[in-house]
Amino acid sequence: MSLDGVIERRMLGALRALGLGACLVASMIASPASAGGVEHASNIGHVFVIVLENESYGTTFGPDSKAPYLATTLPKQGVMLDNYFGTAHFSLPNYIAMISGQAATPETRDDCEVYLDFKSDGLDIDGQARGHGCVYPSSVRTIAQQLESRHKTWRAYMEDMGNDPKRESATCGHAPLNSPDPTQHAEGPSALVPKGDQYAARHDPFVYFHAIIDSPSCTKSVVNLNRLRADLRSARSTPDLSFISPNLCHDGHDAPCKTGEPGGLVSADRFLREWVPRIMRSPAYRKDGLLIVLFDEGDVPETPQAGGGTLQEYPGERCCNQQKGPNLADFPQVEHWDQDVVTFADFGGDRTGAVLLSPMLVPGTIARTPFSHYALLKSLEHVFGIDEHLGYAAQPGLVDFFDCKASDIPLRAPFRGCSDTER
């Protein structure tokens, strides 16, 4: 550690001993520019979200992590969210929660193997669509519509989307309504598809809303990851919100992968080593960027059973007074998949942890405040000056990352709308 770093840490300790808040402490010691000459801004203008797959906090960030870049390097450069939780099992309802605040249905919880139209009888008092299915009616809004109504831009970057045009389009890729989803499994390389196709629609929440897929914005804004390279060339060409889903190998879902890569956290870490520095070098990030690296849900080991098959027991831990939603039966629940048995003690998505990187954050720090995907959505709304909150992002008492009073994420300068003694 440099001498400046030693002095800063000693100052932090001394000031905290006097009872001063983390954000005020940070603003008192923060220099006007970070390493590399990046100016600190009190407001964020560009947000990048990278979503990885299916790992518990201990597996990812523990001492035996197979992702040292994510577990060790990135937290030193940013803020570790020690108590970040998924909102459901399995994947899809977590992604849907991130952009709409909608809770799981039986179909989304099982990843919508059929791309089923949602049959709804309206919204409840919490803005939750009552009914069943996968593709929500146009009355259910997302962060995309919120941004567009404020003349802000968004783009979802999906690795491998369109590699096999017989499976899905290269933009707004999804199955026909009420048809089986061919992207449930990765496709290996072949003569016709040399790179294979490991895109998974269930990791692309934007294609589960009629408000998006029935709009021209879907083909414009739901694109292959390759587009991001060009978009990062200038702050003007970079969307205000960039949502990034690696393919089934690089998000850590598959292990091993159809391409011969190891998959799991090893391949996820390699993906981050390539893309995180590229994003952090971009003009948009250096100007006013925030990069969020998170997981959709926690995971548990598969225990072999004497009679064949496996047992998976999900605790379903949750935070932040999360609600079950109107469409799931009471818990605990048990599901049978051929010989495999899956149990859910509760409806949460378990603890995963997350990492935030930004010129406006105090690096090498840990935030203990509990957050979830609903808090992520509320945070995006806060960042972009959106007063309304969708679905369970509007739940009373839910704390977002930049809450003026309740969040302990340390900032270099007060956030928009907060006083010097708050944030």
Which of residues 196 and 6 earns the better pLDDT score? 196
Locate the domains of the chain by residue range. Answer: 41-394
C-alpha triplet 265, 356, 418: angle, nearest 5°: 160
Mean pLDDT to the nearest integer, 27-53:
61
The whole-number average pLDDT for the span 206-211 is 98
Closest residue by Cα to residue 210 from 129, 311, 280: 129
**CA distances from residue 5 to 8, 76, 215, 363 in whole angstroms, order as listed:** 5, 12, 50, 11
Average pLDDT over residues 310-317: 95
Map tokens 């006007």 to a residue: 32
Greater pLDDT, 36 or 341:
341
Mean pLDDT of 220-235: 98
The CATH number of the structural domain formed by 41-394 is 3.40.720.10
pLDDT digits (tens, 9 = 90+) for 92-125: 999 999 999 999 999 999 999 999 999 999 999 9
- Average of per-residue pLDDT across 350-373: 97
Mean pLDDT, residues 258-276: 97
CA triple 155-213-385, angle to 5 deg: 45
Q: What is the mean pLDDT of residues 46-75?
A: 96
Decide if pLDDT at 409 tops 80.
Answer: yes
Alpha helix stretches (DSSP H) within 62-166: 68, 74-77, 91-100, 106-109, 143-149
- Region 161-170: what's the mean pLDDT? 97
CB within 8 Å of 39: residues ≥ 6 apart: 32, 33, 287, 359
Instruction: Give the pLDDT band (50/70/90) at residue 16.
Output: very low
- Give percent above pLDDT 90 in the chain: 84
Q: What is the pLDDT of residues 174-187, one digit of tens each?
A: 999 999 999 999 99
Q: Please provide the average confidence, as pLDDT, over all residues in the chain.
A: 90
What is the pTM (predicted TM-score) of this model?
0.89
Provide, rounded to the nearest whole percent, the portion of the chain with pLDDT above 70. Answer: 89
Q: Which long-range contacts (CB under 8 A, 24 or more apart) does 181-185 make?
A: 181/112, 181/113, 181/114, 181/115, 184/111, 184/113
pLDDT value at position 422? 61
Strands 79-81 and 289-295: unpaired
Of 111, 14, 37, whose CA–CA distance to 283 is shortest?
A: 37
pLDDT at 420: 61
Q: What is the pLDDT of residues 25-34, one digit of tens each?
A: 444 333 333 3
Rounded Cα distance, 379 and 101, in Å: 12
* Strand blocks (E) in 68-172: 79-81, 84-85, 119-123, 129-132, 154-158
The predicted pLDDT at position 367 comes to 97
What is the pLDDT, as a whole number, of residue 2? 38
The predicted structure's pLDDT at residue 20: 42
* Residue 149: per-residue pLDDT: 96
In this prediction, residue 413 carries a pLDDT of: 80
Token pair belonging to 6: 């030693």
Write out the two tokens for 19: 């009872």
- Mean per-residue pLDDT for 164-182? 97
Taking the C-alpha atoms of residue 266 and residue 270, their distance in angstroms, rounded to an integer, is 6
Q: How far is Cα 93 from Cα 87, in angstroms, rounded to an integer?
A: 8
Assess whether pLDDT exceeds 90 at residue 307.
Answer: no
Instruction: Using alpha carbons, select from 31, 119, 98, 26 the residue that is nearest to residue 365.
Output: 26
- Going by pLDDT thresholds of 50, 70 and 90, the confidence category of residue 229 is very high
According to the model, what pLDDT value does residue 29 have?
Answer: 38
**Segment 62-98, tens digit of pLDDT:** 999 999 999 999 999 999 999 999 999 999 999 999 9
Model confidence at 302, pLDDT cuts 50, 70, 90, reads confident
Report d(CA 202, CA 117) in Å as an integer: 14
Which amino acid, residue 63? P
